[in-house]
A and B are shown apart, each in its own frame.
Chain A
Amino acid sequence: MSGFLEIALLLSAPLLLAAAGELVLERAGSIQIGAEGNMLIGAFAAFAAGLGTGSSAAALAAGLAGGLAGGAAFAVVAVAGRADPILVGTAWNLVAFGGTAFGYRLLAGATGAVLEVPRLHAGALGLPPAVWAVFALPLLVHVGLRTTRPGLRLVAAGEHPEALRALGLSVVAVRTGAALFSGAAAGLAGALLVVTVSPTFVEGMTAGRGFLALALVVFARWKPLRLLPASLLIGAAGALQVRLQASGGTSVPYAFFVALPALLALLALAVTPGRGGAPKALGAPAP
């Protein structure tokens, strides 16, 4: 079953990365519905850079930079500008979806030629080190939020922004940092898709992964370590689909597996009651 495990981990990693970024932003008191858009931007930037340089490391760096730019745009409008973050994210997804389609058409033309970028080299157990690194992220976030000064300030910005302000600290600055982190994580997650799962760009190729990341944060109850089993479950469902597709001997429709992660997320939300664990100031503008 090593093939199965490998695919499950490969599919989990982008989801986990995007969800960890989203969790950090939500713990700081804001929320980015546009994680999907930032993933798309990351994927497109990685594709463009990978095509131009032939380097998968450059592709990852470009994805990170693209996501950072997306995070910065969000910070300007939704954090410093104090616009409703959910509406901002909804509009951002349109910009990102249209913008990446626009860029792809200019770059690849209307030829329909399949342009591929180099994949990451496999390391231990057939997985690139970058993928393994993603699985360490929840622990880093967990420890970072509990023990480091920036982490504690970030949690304060999400729970008691007034208190943070009373200490003379800027809630906007803290949330801006979190927005940049979440943007970078989503961008990198999109890039990871390109250099591990599908080495080209397709319009809308993130296929709802950014939305699933949002759901993961809720059913992890905003606790970073709980992102691990949740994302592995969804990755395993995806790997099962790949397996069944390959063996051809299935009567289960392919579409079911596409819907499965969303259905699992809905089910989890239905059985675990309430918004318990949500940061108290989630979605509220900075004081």
Chain B
Amino acid sequence: MTVVSRPRVLFAAAIAASTLVLLAVLVLVAGASPGEALAALVGGSVGSGAALGETLTRATSLVLCAAGAVLALRAGVLNIGLDGQFLMGAAAAAAVGPLLDGTPNAARLALLLAAAAAGAVFAAPAVWLSERRGVPPVLSTILLNLVAAAAVTWLVRGPLQDRAADYPQSRPLSTSVRLRPLAPGVRTTAAFPVALLLAAGSGVFLSRTKAGLKLRAAGASPAAARAIGLADAPLRAGALLGSAAFAGLAGGLEVAAVTGRLFDPFGSGVGYLGIAAALLGGTGAGGATAAALFFAALGAGSSALQRDTGVPAAVAMIVPGLLVLGVLLVRRRLSGDEA
């Protein structure tokens, strides 16, 4: 991801204007006042310290999933399985979290490594099916998402169930392991800066390292990559597994920093939204992170929107989906090597 001369400001302005128009239409359809809706959206996302904290808390998983989506897309693989890998990361964290005690930082590290590993392991069948059986990862990872959702349903009613709780959920992480808020009265924890750093790191990896260059070459043209002696299959496999580890880590951080446990359903489609952020951000790490922050603000704002004006919070899915469709229509070769 290099800085480009492309008029990014114009693009961002077009996205902002489109968002306002789409939101206005949805608010009018729901029969609410646009002025009150805008106040609720802004107030709920950036209007106060607590609102900003809510946005950044939501952004953590999204930034990581978006970075994971970019990593795979750059290698020419669409990892639709981010959602399932996120769930498996969360499940791993919920499984090992209650067992860990003692030095908090070592325990946290173990927990997050387990989560990242769980995400990658869960994508391994897709790699095998792709390289050995020619099954497109799009198809296998979509199916694995269904398996992951069912696994969560089972885990919180079976092996991980908290017998003391009234409804199905896993045992809580011990408070010493849970990530603490960065400031009193704010929900944001160190998870957010960690996610930002990792996203930036993946951007540097893609644009500034030899391995990143090879990966992008394999993604841009597998045939050309093979012709210059690059083994494109391992590059694609590595990108998919790395992408899945990002999603798994996102799930682990969600448990360690936000929920403290696993329940069912969990996550509400953050993997799919992460792909949308990657596409809106032009499949570059910087753009994807910016889009993820934007979607997170929209998500936090739409909760306030629903509470204050009755306009359904689902606008936070409709708008990203429509924006991506618009961008795909306007720039149909987003995944090209333009960034």
Contact = CB atoms under 8 A, between A and B. Distances in A.
Interface of A: 33, 73, 76-77, 81-84, 86-88, 90-99, 101-102, 105-106, 208, 211-212, 214-215, 218, 253-256, 258-259, 261-263, 265-266, 269-270, 273-275
B129 A269 contact: yes
A102 B31 CA distance: 12
A90 B143 contact: no
B259 interface: no
B288 interface: no
A201 B80 CA distance: 26
Contacts of B325: 73, 77, 88, 91-92, 95
A255 B314 contact: no
Interface in B145-181: 145-147, 149-151, 153-154, 157-158
B321 A262 contact: no
B312 A101 contact: yes
B157 A98 contact: no
B143 A262 contact: yes
Contact of B138 (A33, A258, A262, A263): A33
B275 to A, nearest CB: 6
Contacts of A212: 143, 146
Nearest to B324: A91
Contacts of A76: 329
A269 B142 contact: no
Contacts of B140: 266, 269
B182 interface: no
B335 A211 contact: no
8 contacts: A84-B328, A86-B78, A98-B318, A102-B318, A208-B146, A208-B149, A215-B143, A255-B153
B314 A211 contact: no
Contacts of A265: 143
A211 B324 contact: no
B134 A275 contact: yes
Contacts of A270: 129, 133, 135
A78 to B, nearest CB: 8
Interface string B78-115: 10100000000000000000000000000000000000
B272 interface: yes
**What are the 3 closest A-B residue pairs judged by CB atoms, nearest first?**
A98-B317, A94-B321, A259-B150
B153 A258 contact: yes
A263 B145 CA distance: 11
B14 interface: no
- Of the listed residues B144, B269, B314, the one surrounded by the most CB atoms of chain A closer than 10 A to its CB is B314
B316 interface: yes
Interface string B58-90: 000000000000000000001010000000000
Contacts of B151: 255, 259
A87 B314 contact: no
Contacts of A82: 332
Contacts of B316: 98
B230 interface: no
Given A81-B329, A215-B139, A269-B140, A87 B134 contact: no
A215 B143 CA distance: 8
A66 to B, nearest CB: 15
Contacts of A256: 150, 154
A145 B286 CA distance: 47
B197 interface: no
A35 to B, nearest CB: 11
A84 B76 CA distance: 12
A97 B276 CA distance: 14
